Amino acid sequence: MKDASAAASTAREDGLRLRGARITNAVKCLPPDNKPLPAEVRACNEFLRAELIASPEARVILALGAIAHAAVLRACDLTPARFRFSHGAEHTLGAGRMLIDSYHCSRYNTNTRRLTTEMFRQVVGRAAKLAA
């Protein structure tokens, strides 16, 4: 079962635990304006590759944004050009894994309503259903 030990996190030490889910970042640093450069994405890709290798039970990967989408594909040695990013798109990665795309839940995307709460709930729900 994929769930959390509480409805919300309030602090790093609040005891919240994810069960059956993992959160990671394609870029490990905090770049200026929170916009990673291609070199930063490439530099961090080996970390993402190692995390995916160490988590063979992870069958569904939800990429938040085009940068994460491309980073996952690179980490899986797949050509990003063959897998077009689109909100809600589902991609078969091989080895029993799926990649699902979502617009990033940034303030810009939510304020402009490019990504609504309902859209995000739907894509997360679909990922959970596929992972079950």
State whether CATH 3.40.470.10 applies to domain 20-131: yes
Of 88 and 20, more confident: 88
> In the chain, where are the structural domains located?
20-131
Predicted confidence at residue 55, as pLDDT, reads 92
Report whether 97 contacts 58 (CB < 8 A).
yes
Give the residue from 67, 80, 77 showing the smallest Cα distance to 41.
67
**34 vs 91, which has greater pLDDT?**
91
Mean pLDDT in residue range 71-94? 95
| Model confidence, pTM | 0.85
How far is Cα 117 from Cα 72, in angstroms, rounded to an integer?
Answer: 24
Q: What are the pLDDT digits (tens) for 25-73?
A: 889 888 777 788 889 999 999 999 999 999 999 999 999 999 999 999 9
Q: What percent of the chain has pLDDT over 70?
A: 96
Q: Is 28 helix (H, G, I), strand (E, B) or coil?
A: coil
Task: Say yes or no to pLDDT of 18 above 50.
Answer: yes
Amino acid at 67: I
